Structure 1
């Protein structure tokens, strides 16, 4: 899943080397923390959050087979 997030986000940003995805696993959920360069934050979020909503939709659909809830958070 980490590779999927990186594959989606890296082409969107100006600094693909700054894209970092950290994984935190808990009992009932898996949280993916996405960090990008500050100047790329707007590109990842998109107008009215449309881009990040689309990314989350793809990630949640890909993780539907797992028994844990999946969350994607963007951190600064």
Structure 2
């Protein structure tokens, strides 16, 4: 689970690990994937505003990736 701060343009500005998968490599990969993500900006009364939300992430290494860095798979 990651806490994600998204700015008014939909860009991720900060992530914080809330609960771990048990693997530092997978946790890091999930955080890096979100930093590259773009979101539709949240709007209130027609104006885009920054928002912080919780983002559940499901990560699972595939059998073909056994013994390979999660970033290389």
**Which protein has the bigger helix share?**
1
**TM-score, normalised on structure 2?**
0.28
Higher-Rg member (1/2): 2
